Amino acid sequence: MAANRVDYHEVFTTKTITVCPRDRPPHAHEAKVIHLSNLDRKCPALMYLVFFYRSTPPLHGRQLSSASLFSSLKRGLEEAMSDWYPAAGRLCLAPPPPTGKINLACTNSGALLVEAATRATISDLGDLAQHNDFYERLVCKPPSGACFADTPLVVGQVTKFACGGYSIGVGTNHALFDGAANYSFLSAWASKTVGRAAEGQVELVEPVHERGRLLVCHGQSQVSLSKAADREGEMGGFMALDHLHQLIKQAVSANCIVPGGQLKLSEMDSTGHEHLVLRTFSVSASMVSRLKNKAASGSGGISCSSFEVVAAHLWKVRTKAFNIAKHRMVCLQFAVDARARMRPPLPKGFTGNAYVLSSVACTSAELEEASLATVVGKIKAAKQAVTDSYVMKYLAALNAAPQVALPPLPELTMVSDWTKTPYHSIDFGLGKAVFVTPLATPFPQVAYFMQSPSEAGRMDVRIGLPHMHLQAFTRYFLSAM
């Protein structure tokens, strides 16, 4: 931060309230338990976004007050949770016999909303795209070690800056929503807050909270899921977990084992990993066009999406920057939305987690020698491989996976595509956000592709990198464009 005075590092909480759904009969859903899928259970933690808004022009000669904004956000959240009522619930353990798995109890316990203020100005924060430890003070964090049964699934904090601008920090539990559903929920909250849908915002649809066909071992066994996939003739190699197993074996053979010798297949745990530096790289629309032209040129040219070509470029660059030995296997994994790939498709308003990992792997030497078009083609093929049966096998594999910890895997590049969820367009009554940033996640090494609020077609890429590789990655990533 530019400011050095201690005051600029302080955020003062002025109000904390619990917000419950409006216009629902008392205790309407309190007896209801939503059975979570194995996708929901992968990361039952609060994931945070911080929205930044510059000071708004006075309305009828008066500046929007913090109290007025807080009241509007409270009313909007009450109304939104009438349809999105699981957001007011709590996680709970599945019934006996004990499995350690969690479900979602619709307790109507409510979300938490905080009003705060700081003497800092937004300009004091510098480049909003770059991670700043101060951002951690702009969200409401339940006490560490709190029982998950007592922890809200949605928390919000509105902070007024000395310049008249605001931040709105929102945390939603990943067991409740995936990225697409989270965007729909926040859009619903914003539209209820301002009394209308913002221009360019997603169409609001009736949310569907039941997990349906994504449930495993709740009306459908792992064996039956495997048989269903087998009938489609796709029970051969299962890319995402097969590749992960191979990387783990490779790490074990090189004595890259976490303390205690344990492995973890179902979560990414950075314990024991080198500290990662979070950096955001801006990829302009012209840069994206140049990459696409490069992929389309020559005899093996191929047309592609912005995600496909930037993911291919990032995989090649990260592997080169990490100086991974030529004979080592390297892998790119990315999340694919399974909603439209299921048969029948999931409902349009499905609110649970519906993303599964797909995967591409080769040796470091093969990746270095491959053209951009070749790598893009492999990514396209991996996306197309995500079918209904692939999803069923993925769910069954998660159900059987042991809870063990991953060793450090520098050969694994992971990407999450947020370009279809333009969070900066969400209007809580302050116009479009000047920037929206995720806080550090449990998986800081993942590269997040986000729409830029400053230029159509521009992509912001946020990634965690070891400090020793940061300079090389920066040079390779930007110079090749």
Q: What 8-state DSSP symbol labels residue 278?
A: E
Q: Catalytic one among 35, 174, 313, 424?
A: 174
Residue pair 364/326 in contact by the 8 Å Cβ criterion = yes
> Is 273 part of the annotated catalytic residue set?
no
User: What distance in Å separates the CA atoms of residue 132 and residue 137, rounded to the nearest whole number?
Assistant: 10
Nearest to 11 by CA among 164, 171, 163, 162: 162
CA–CA gap between residue 244 and residue 238 (Å, rounded):
10
For the chain, the three-class secondary structure string (H helix, E strand, C coil) is CCCCCHHHHCEEEEEEEEECCCCCCCCCCCCCEECCCCCHHHCCCEEEEEEEECCCCCECCECCCHHHHHHHHHHHHHHHHHHCHHHHCEEEECCCCCCCCEEEECCCCCEEEEEEEECCCHHHHCCCCCCCHHHHHHCCCCCCCCCHHHCCCEEEEEEECCCCCEEEEEEEECCCCCHHHHHHHHHHHHHHHHCCCCCCCCCCCCCECCCHHHCCCCCCCHHHHHHHHHHCCCCCCCHHHHHHHHHHHHHHHCCCCCCCCCCCCCCCCCCCCCCEEEEEEEECHHHHHHHHHHHHCCCCCCCCCHHHHHHHHHHHHHHHHCCCCCCCEEEEEEEEECHHHCCCCCCCCECCCCEEEEEEEEEHHHHHHCCHHHHHHHHHHHHHCCCHHHHHHHHHHHHHCCCCCCCCCCCEEEEEEECCCCHHHCCCCCCCCCEEEECCCCCCCCEEEEECCCCCCCEEEEEEEEHHHHHHHHHHHHHCC
Strand-pairing partners, residue 438, are: 49
Both tokens of residue 150? 């007592």
Bin 397: left if φ > 0, else alpha if -120 < ψ < 50, else beta.
alpha
Most distant CA atoms of the chain, gap in Å? 69
User: Which residues form the catalytic set?
Assistant: 174
